[in-house]
Every structure is written in structure tokens, then in C-alpha cells.
Chains A and B, each alone.
Chain A
């Protein structure tokens, strides 16, 4: 269970990214967060693993209060939360396997990770994560030699290697073409179903959101404007979230047909 109580984030300079958000996300749910860019989606996701600290209010993950953790406790919380990024955030100059092993960093002593000695147990977990996203054949290929979709799968594998209980995905398909986007979303959904990992995904595309979400959360300038199952989110709801009528850019399939 992830709970937000009056969660507020104000950036230096007075920009309010989140204002007094209250939310409860039960374990195992697949939640999609929609909203315009700048609506606070990225901030919301990053408050869960403490990459963005709250200005006031509380965020709890399970029985841990993210806002009250020490540095060390925060690191151990992050180890239990996988994260996937829009730009994949891979070290492109090193191998796929080394990138995935980054997800094991919290489980190995610092000195061993410094010399690159992860050991067979950690390597096995990384390999299984790669198998789960069906890209294990590329384990020893440099990440820069992969396509965008393959790189995002490596990003997912890196998060899976953490053996997380929560998965955060910040615009995971925004840099991908439509068919690849759908495949990546299916991967995320399958992982959510098979492993029961609570999943929070930021999305811009409405049709993808409706297709994959158990629950949709709509944000507009840092405030909650919609919270309900994917089936309830029709065009009216989206127009309310976006504060304008929908355009072709808001729908993945329309973009594909262009």
C-alpha cells in the first residue's frame, strides 16, 4: 500500500508541482497517471522513492514513511522500488548485463561493486530479469548498439533485477514508436500480473492509458482532478484533465496513422 497524505512539493522559485495530494494505492494495482507535461506527474512518481523530497505532507510505502527516512533507510527503500525512465538512463558505453547489475548495487558490498565483482548469484538474478523481458541474448552487447525499444527493455530488466515490490515508470514510452510502445506497456502489464508488483506509470497517450490501466489518476497543475477505473475515463474526463479538447497528439494510434 502506498499512501499520500496532503503531499505537497514546491520547487525553489515557488513553482508548485503538487498541492495537498491524498491518495491510496493498494498492493498489486496497475495505476496510470495522466496529465499535461508540467502537471506534476514526474514529481508525483519521484516522491514515492524520495528522488524528490516533499515540502510538506507525507508519503508512505508499506509501513515506511518516505519523508522520515535517514539516508541509509532511503537507499534501502529505493532498492525495493524499481524505476523506469523516459530516456532509459542506461550507461550506453557498457554492456547490457552491467546495466542490469546496477539494479543489484544495494545488495552487494560497496568494495565489491567498485571492482565489478558481483558474483554468480547476482549475475543469475540479472540474467533472469533479462530473460523475463526476452532480451537475454544481448547480455554482453554494448547498450549503445540496441534500438530504443530494446534499451527500454533493458531499463525494465534493471528495475526487475532489484526484485522490487513497487515499480515506477516515468513516461516509459514517450521516446518510442507506437508498436514498440504497446509492446513495452504489455511487458509492464505482464510483470504486474505475474509478479504482483504495484506499478505506477506516467503516460501522455490516452488510448494506452485506457487500455492498460486498472486505475487512472488525472493530474492538473499539481492537483488530483480524476481518480477512477480505466473504463470510466471517457473523452469528457480527459478533456477535463487536459483543460482543452483532445488532439491527435494525445492519442498513440492517431499518431501512428500520420
Chain B
């Protein structure tokens, strides 16, 4: 640096403001174009307009009136309690069974855990496909397959849990400490022995936390499965909605929200300790 000053005078010209990166320009143009294409009022847009939202909101409407007269007595009604119990049962069974299946799948879904590229690719594809199914789509399919009731709901949550827990867990695997893996290999361990002794103990807290998080998701999700006949609190909601009984709809929603928040607070406290 010091030699440069003696040989050539320092470059005192002020630099020009650099143009934004091609990536930023592309991303901004893409985002604006997508917003116009999707939001505008044309053949393929949804025609979103704030004035429409405001005029609709200022018209008197049944759900808002129902919110004012919210019927909280529904929470002690046995129909609510039964439907709610079913929601919890479905979430418990779906989460536990799904999470158990998800652990080996998560191992195979990582570079470290897959024994070869073919297995890795196949598991990754399978996981991407089931991950793109919303829980209600699973419910639709299982209602068609095994009829209405809690069973299709449980199966829907089972597959939904596999997708969620596998994805979240396998994402943590590539970031673990590679030291124990080398140690296991150096002691002559087989592939599954290495995974069991060097990888699983490291991902176990994360995995448990994801399974509990998935239970929160499932509890929330199991409230809507009833809309397509797959059991739980959603059936009750659908019933009141079809009756136009909005005070009762709001009552059920309020009870559901309270319980979801309580479960979430407990689960978050436990998860914070785990990690």
C-alpha cells in the first residue's frame, strides 16, 4: 500500500453509485409483474380492490352481527366437548404415528443419511410430493377411500405429519457436528449404526421439538378436516354455518382459539427447554 502512494497518485475520483444487481432488478420486476397479473381486474386476475373491500365491510352482514352476539354457552355443550375431544384424539394419533415414520425418512432425506444417490433422490421426490399436499386434500382423498368419520381425518394428519416432521428434521441433519460421524466410521461402524449412534443423538432434541410443533399444526388443521366430513370440530362448525347460526360459529371458534393458544404456550415452553 505504501509503495502505491509513492509511485502513482491515489485515485481521488468519487466512484459512481453502482447499479443494483441483476438479481435485484429481476426480482423486483418479477414481483411487480406477478402482483399486477394476479391482482388486476382482467380475465386471469382476481381483481382486488380496496374500495370493494370497504363497501362490502360497511354493509351490514350476518357474521359481524353474530360476533356481537357471540354464544359462549356452546363451550359447555356436550356436542362441542365431544367434537373437540375427537379433534384432540385425531391430532394425537396422527402426530405420534406420523413422527415415528418421519425419523427414518428424515435420515434418508439427507446427504449424510442416504446410503446412495438413488435412495436419496427417491426419498427426496417422495417427500416433496407429499409435502405439496395440503391437509384438507389428504382428507378429501381419504374420505373417498374409507368413508366419512374420524378415520380419514387421522390418516390425513398422519401423512401431513410425515411431510412436516421429515422436512424440518432432515434440514437439521446436514448442519450437525461431523466429528462423531468420522469417529463412528473410524471405529468400523456400519451405515445404520453410524446414524443411530452419531447422528440420532444430535438431532433428537430438534426432532422432538418438530414433532411437538407438528402437534400444534395438527390441532389447528384438525379443526378444518370436518368441513369435508373427516371428523372433529370442523363438522360442528360446518353444521352451525349451514344453519346460519353465526353466534354459535363464533363461540366454537373462540373456544378453539383459547385451547390452541394454551397448547401452544405449553408446547413452546417445553420446546425452548429442549433446544
Task: Show the binding face of A for B, using Cβ within 8 Å.
Answer: 49, 51, 75-83, 85, 87-94, 98, 101-103, 105-106, 110, 113-114, 116, 155, 158-159, 162, 168
Contact = CB atoms under 8 A, between A and B. Distances in A.
Given A110-B190, A113-B193, A51 B185 contact: yes
Contacts of A83: 183, 186-187
Contacts of A92: 177
Contacts of A78: 185-188
- Looking at A82, A91, A92, A114, which has the most chain B CB atoms within 10 Å of its CB? A91
Interface in B184-202: 184-190, 192-194, 196-198, 201-202
A102 B201 contact: no
A51 B186 contact: yes
User: Interface size for chain B: under 10, 10 to 19, 20 to 34, or 35 or more residues?
Assistant: 20 to 34
Contacts of A168: 186
Given A75-B188, A105-B190, A159-B187, 18 more contacts: A78-B186, A87-B179, A89-B180, A94-B201, A98-B197, A102-B180, A102-B197, A102-B198, A105-B184, A105-B197, A106-B187, A106-B189, A110-B192, A113-B197, A158-B183, A158-B187, A162-B187, A162-B188
B63 interface: no
B149 interface: no
A76 B188 contact: yes
Binding site secondary structure of chain B: helix
Contact of A91 (B185, B187, B193, B201): B201
Contacts of B82: none
B125 interface: no
Interface in B145-196: 177, 179-180, 182-190, 192-194, 196
Contact of A49 (B177, B186, B190, B201): B186
B205 interface: yes
A89 B194 CA distance: 13
Contact of A79 (B187, B194, B197): B187
A91 B190 contact: no
B188 A79 contact: yes
B202 A75 contact: no
Enumerate the 5 nearest inter-chain pairs by beta-carbon distance, A residue then B residue, closest first: A79-B188, A89-B179, A78-B188, A106-B188, A105-B189
A162 to B, nearest CB: 6
B204 interface: yes
B116 to A, nearest CB: 12
B202 A93 contact: yes
A89 B202 CA distance: 12
Contacts of B186: 49, 51, 78, 81, 83, 168
A93 B188 CA distance: 21
A213 B189 CA distance: 30
A73 to B, nearest CB: 10
12 contacts: A51-B182, A78-B185, A78-B187, A83-B186, A89-B179, A102-B183, A106-B190, A110-B190, A113-B193, A113-B197, A116-B196, A168-B186
Interface-central residue, B183, B196, B198, by most chain A CB under 10 Å: B183
